[in-house]
Amino acid sequence: MGGRSGMGRAAPGWMVVFDLDDTLYLERDFAFSGYRHLEQVVAAQSGVRGFGAACRTLFEAGVRRHVFDRACAELGLAAGPERIAQLVAGYRGHRPEIALCPDAARYLAQAPGPLGLITDGPETMQRNKISALGLQALIKHIRPTGAWGAGYGKPHPRAFREMEDKAPRGARLVYVADNPAKDFVTPRARGWAAVQILRPGAVHDPEPPGAGHAAHLRIQSLDELDPALAAWAA
């Protein structure tokens, strides 16, 4: 579908709440940014080059666990717990070079009503992403669940209750996200609409583990969101 006209949403009366990773930007871009950062760190500490490239090659081969251990092994670097902990901290704490997906930038720039964001992960890492993407100026209600400590990530209902409290009176709520393993079961149970965005290169399996985890709607781009909601709610 084409871009939005800027004349208001096709589905009035909704408060749209977004996920972050692989919804508004590509999570792999954060990974690649982190690998570039660690390339400089490892080279400065050990004189060995190629760490970032080794990590990226592993990622592109589908490896998602123990990437740093394996990259160290390939380069002949000792990979004890202290070094791995330092690499993880550097990866999570770096200032990422990432950008909004073009359709996300269009949607956020034109949305006339208040928007929300619920994102899991270590608070500093997620806030660095939020800052790099400039989301503080575009989304009114931002909730990194990591700010509450362990145990409050999705599918825990606390963040969804918070968004319900902040929604305009009478508004319907919709959660737009990518990962059916955890993103949709709670908003569905609370009466929200659930929309899955399918982005090429997304990290997580797009297929739900069960019917209760499936989104009501699937879209390829946020340009499709308002017409899809309008048709679904009709």
Q: Would you state the pLDDT for residue 167?
A: 95
Instruction: Judge if 74 and 119 occupy the same domain.
Output: no
- Are residues 128 and 85 located together in one domain of the fold? no
Distance CA 113, CA 110 (A): 9
Same domain, 140 and 202: yes
Average pLDDT over every residue of 99-122: 94
CB–CB of 118/160 below 8 Å? yes
* Tokens describing residue 187: 């908003």
The answer, yes or no, to whether residue 221 has pLDDT greater than 80, is: yes
Is 123 contained in some domain? Answer: yes
The tokens 């919804």 sit on which residue? 23
The stretch 137-141 carries a mean pLDDT of 95
Report DSSP state, residue 205. Answer: -
Q: What's the confidence (pLDDT) of residue 43?
A: 97
Query: How big is the CA angle at 129 (ends 219 and 5), to the nearest 5 degrees?
Result: 40
Q: Strands, DSSP E only, in the chain? A: 14-18, 115-119, 141-144, 172-177, 193-197, 217-219
112-122 per-position pLDDT tens digit: 778 999 999 99
Cα–Cα distance for residue pair 217/226, rounded to 1 Å: 11
Residue 216, domain extent: 14-26+98-233
Taking residues 68-82, report their average pLDDT: 95
Indicate whether 78 and 181 sit together in one domain: no
Q: Tell which phi-psi region holds residue 168, choosing left (phi > 0), alpha (psi between -120 and 50) or beta.
A: beta
141 and 227 part of one domain: yes
pLDDT at 178 over 60: yes
Instruction: Tell me, yes or no, whether 88 and 135 share the same domain.
Output: no
pLDDT value at position 11? 53
At 86, list the tokens. 């330092």
The total of structural domains in the chain comes to: 2
pLDDT of residue 111: 84
At 176, list the tokens: 């737009």
Whether 8 is in a domain gets the answer: no
Given pLDDT bands bounded at 50, 70 and 90, which one contains residue 154? very high
DSSP state string for 164-179: HHHSPTT-EEEEEES-
What's 192's domain CATH number?
3.40.50.1000
Q: Are 123 and 177 within one domain?
A: yes
pLDDT in tens, 19-39: 999 999 999 999 999 999 999
Residues sharing a CB contact under 8 Å with residue 82, sequence separation 6 or more, in sequence order = none
Whether residue 180 sits in one domain with residue 103: yes
Q: Are residues 35 and 108 in the same domain?
A: no
Higher pLDDT, 99 or 7: 99
Residue 210's Cβ-count burial label (10 Å; 0-12, 13-18, 19+) is: exposed
One domain, residues 125 and 150:
yes
pLDDT averaged over the chain? Answer: 93
The encoded tokens of residue 19 equal: 């996920």
Of 93, 122, 137, which residue constitutes the final position of a domain?
Answer: 93
For residues 46 and 141, state if they share a domain: no
Quick check: is 1 in a domain? no
Same domain, 86 and 129: no
**Per the domain annotation, does 186 fall within a domain?**
yes
Span 152-157, mean pLDDT? 98
